[in-house]
Structure 1
Amino acid sequence: MSRQLIVDVHTHVYPPSYMALLRARKTVPYIHDPAEGADPRLIILSSDDDPATPPDERGRPVDASYSDINVKLDFMKKHDIDCSVISLANPWLDFVPKDEAQEWAERINNDLESTCADVNSEKDKSLFAFGALPLSAPSSIVVAEIKRLRTLPHIRGVIMGTSGLGKGLDDPDLDAIWGALEETQLLLFLHPHYGLPSEAFGGPEVIARYGHVLPLALGFPLETTIAVTRMLLSGVFDRFERLQVLLAHSGGTLPFLAGRIESCVLHERKFVANGGDTPGPKRGVWDVLKTNIFLDAVVYGSAGLQAAVAAGSHDRLMFGTDHPFFPPLHDEDEKWPSVTTNYKAIDSCFGEKDSESIGMVLGGNANRILKLGFD
């Protein structure tokens, strides 16, 4: 792969203020500090907090890569990444009490902005960020924070989970937020967190037996697919035609299932178009995929990436790593397989001769879409 601009749009960081917030908690999400000499444990999924599991073994170990921006920069250098668009990882601020949400959102977003400003210079634009939203607060506060974020020089969008205000993304109360995002033209980075009920995988015992494989490999992609489909069915993309959404993990299973979703919509008798009494969507899945939705390239294989390209186009796909999750398990000096696998998938998907498309996915698209300012 020839050297081209590489921009990582899916890379997380927990600022020190957020780490302190998690350390002060005793219920999910929280950080458990084990015996001296061991890394803290991050417990962010309900399945991680099994009382039968000793506290020192719950969740996942959290080292400096989660919060130290210098570790992030070293990771970027090791993997030839020129620029990262950092974002708070799940579960964001969804759990914060409503009377504290505004304060924490401002604090976290100011931390992200100052981190980018401290690292960047006129000639070196290494970091930008997606802001976090105070979704447990009244929607007027969320809208105000979106408009404030638009004024911060290094913020290029917002990150959000699939529960919205707690009722899913087809909740009519989200319209004010969709409107603010459309007005400011801030990109919405939609990321899963809640997964599927443990019963979908056989119950807590089955999940415990196989670790994070089932909820992460299957639960997260299906969560994203369901959330976006609910947006479509409720007419969000009809009412907000200029809303721009970046879907994590190449859109979950949406690219592969788009045709099936479209067919079911066209045949659904409950919708007004077929004589029913439910409005139903006016725009089709394929139209939305090619107009409102961008996908990251965090899919770890050429088959999934080909589906993503077919669903949208190569100029709507952006490289990502999901750092600091999925680190190497053995040699600390080796490159991360979660990153090199995505590089290989991009090469395999387009072929060595299509260097232009490869360059667009690696960095050109992000530079254009997020207005990063690289020549």
Structure 2
Amino acid sequence: MATPIVDVHTHVYPPKYVELLKSRSEVPYIRTFDSDLTARLIILPREDDPSTPSTARGRPIGPEYFDIAKKIAFMDQHGIDISVISQANPWLDFLSASEATDAAVEVNDDINNMCEKYPGRLFAFGTLPVKAGAEACVREIKRLKGLKWMRGVVLGTGGMGQGLDDPKMECVYTTLEEAELPVFLHPHYGLPSEVYGPRAGEYGHVLPLSLGFPIETTIAVTRMIVSGVFDRHLALTLLLAHSGGTLPFLAGRLESCILHDAHLKKLGKLEKRRDIWDILKKNILLDAVVYSGVGVRAAVEASGEDRLLFGTDHPFFPPLEDEDTHQEWLSVATNYAAINKVFEGDKEKGGAVLGGNALRLLKLQAE
């Protein structure tokens, strides 16, 4: 029997979350612009700049974003047996402390119920009430452990507002270790718009998505490494979106810079530290949402072929010819092709990346 194909990077906006976005007038929100009658999802910082053409503001949002039956249809169309769904960015990061706790319970229960409709085909990463503080996050992690289809949590790089190297995150990491739940780390905030230059608005979403997201992830994880998070939390597991950004390629340079930093040496932070290669191979999982054999090989070199997992990033990056609902998604076909190219002639290793690793590492069995 062939190993199931598992998609670990696939998103959903629960219906009640969509209602919340429609009720808002500032980012994040859903609205229809005068020059474009299609409802558009505005979630990225500065994405609604009035100088930006309406067709470059956000993205059209249809039922594939919130109707779980559409997710299953997409899976069937592309030969995917199991998906580990997560609420897409910006999660609950924008809610106040008073709103976040109840919203997390509502959203997570909603997603768990979605999984219940298709037993064994859907699992999920839960969302944390980050603005409500560490204690609220700890309580929700413990509650998620008891939900049948939950297999981890999804976090943005901002953590509770001060980044993932924030000392207030320590008890959250300890609780995740004890619950044996991994973190799916996903970018959202990108880089300051100034870094893209004065003509960036002419290039749609290309610069923030292709460069801003990966570099955001790289910076966030590097801060965790340099601050010693993985030295203190040996069992903490992070699944990094988009193959870890630029981390696999820059890991050697990062290690060298740490070892040659006089400030870190003076503070005693170079003693008894784990090197980045040990962390990559023991604490880090990488998805294969990188769209090239070059990227897949870098991920394998960094963390190992036994820690690389297939993903699609659905419902983002659909075919531009959106009137053809049965068209194969180029973004998905490209990921398949990259994995097949790297593991050509070795079906066992290729099958592990496409599904076997996820089954084992995320414990994707119905309990």
TM range (shorter): over 0.9
Q: Which runs of 5+ in 2 are unaligned?
A: none
**Which one of 291, 306, 309 corresponds to residue 315 of structure 1?**
306
In the TM superposition, what whole-angstrom CA distance separates every residue of 1:20-55 from its partner, at most 9, and x where no partner exists? Answer: 111111111111135799431100012311022466
Q: Does 1:297 align with 2:292?
A: no
Deviation at 1:280, TM superposition (A): 4.9
Matched, 1:223 2:216: yes
**Offset from partner CA, 1:173-216 (integer Å, 9 cap, x none):** 1111111111111010000000111111114xx22100100000
Question: Which of 174, 178, 185 is the matching residue for 2:180?
Answer: 185
Counterpart-to-counterpart distance in 2, 1:359 and 1:39: 40
Contact 2:41–2:61, Cα closer than 8 Å, also in 1: yes
2:347 maps to amino acid: S
Displaced runs of 4 or more, over 6 A:
none
Of 187, 197, 202 in structure 1, the residue corresponding to residue 197 of structure 2 is 202
Q: Determine the C-alpha separation between the residues in 1 that align with 2:187 and 2:362.
A: 21
2:352 is aligned, of 360, 370, 373, to 360
Distance in 1 of aligned mates of 2:204 and 2:30 = 18
- Aligned residue for 1:96? 95
Secondary structure at the residue paired with 2:297? helix
| Structure 1 position 259 matched with structure 2 position 240 | no
Q: Cα distance, 1:278 vs. partner?
A: 5.4
Equivalent position of 1:115 in the other structure: 114
Distance 2:151 2:127 in 1: 11
Paired with 1:278 and 1:218, the residues of 2 have a C-alpha distance of 34
| Distance in 2 separating the partners of 1:261 and 1:35 | 47
Gap runs ≥5 in structure 1:
none
User: In structure 2, do the counterparts of structure 1 residues 156 and 5 end up closer, same or farther at CA, with 3 Å as the change threshold?
Assistant: same
- Secondary structure (helix, strand or coil) at the match of 1:241 reads coil
- CA shift, 1:339, in A, is 0.3
Tell me what 1:279 maps to.
269
- The letter for the 2-side match of 1:257 is L
- Corresponding residue for 1:62? 61
| 1:265 positional shift | 0.9
Instruction: Give the corresponding residue for 2:262.
Output: 269
CA distance in structure 1 between the aligned counterparts of 2:164 and 2:365, rounded to whole angstroms: 32
* Residues 105-184 of structure 1 mapped to structure 2, 5 A cutoff: 105-120=104-119, 125-184=120-179
Higher mean displacement: 108-117 or 38-47: 38-47
- What is the aligned length? 363
State how 1:324-363 maps to structure 2 within 5 Å.
Answer: 324-330=315-321, 331-351=324-344, 353-363=345-355
Question: Cα deviations across residues 261-312 of structure 1 (Å, max 9, x unaligned)?
Answer: 011111111123xxx1253571111000000000000000000110000001
CA–CA distance in structure 2, aligned partners of residues 66 and 35 of structure 1: 22
Matched residue type, 1:67 = F
Which letter maps to 2:123? F
| CA displacement at 1:90 relative to structure 2 | 0.5
**Residues 308 and 207 (structure 1), Cα distance of their counterparts in 2 relative to 1, 3 Å cut:** same
The DSSP-based 3-state class of the residue aligned with 1:271 is: helix
For residue 5 of structure 1, report the CA deviation from its aligned partner.
Answer: 1.2
Matched, 1:373 2:365: yes
Distance in 1 between the 2:52 and 2:257 partners? 43
Which residue type is aligned with residue 371 of structure 1?
Answer: K
**Aligned residues of 1:234 and 1:280 also touching (Cα < 8 A):** no
1:43–1:60: 8 Å Cα contact kept in structure 2?
Answer: yes
Kept in 1, the 8 Å contact 2:85–2:125? The answer is: yes
Q: Which moved more, 1:25-34 or 1:356-365?
A: 25-34
Decide whether aligned partners of structure 1 residues 262 and 55 sit closer, same or farther in structure 2, where only a CA change above 3 A counts. same
User: Is the Cα–Cα contact under 8 Å of residues 32 and 56 in structure 1 kept in the other structure?
Assistant: no
* Cα distance, 1:16–1:257 mapped onto 2, change above 3 Å: same
Which moved further from structure 2: 323-332 or 228-237?
Answer: 323-332
- Give 2:236's aligned residue: 243
The answer to whether the 8 A contact 2:35-2:54 is kept is no
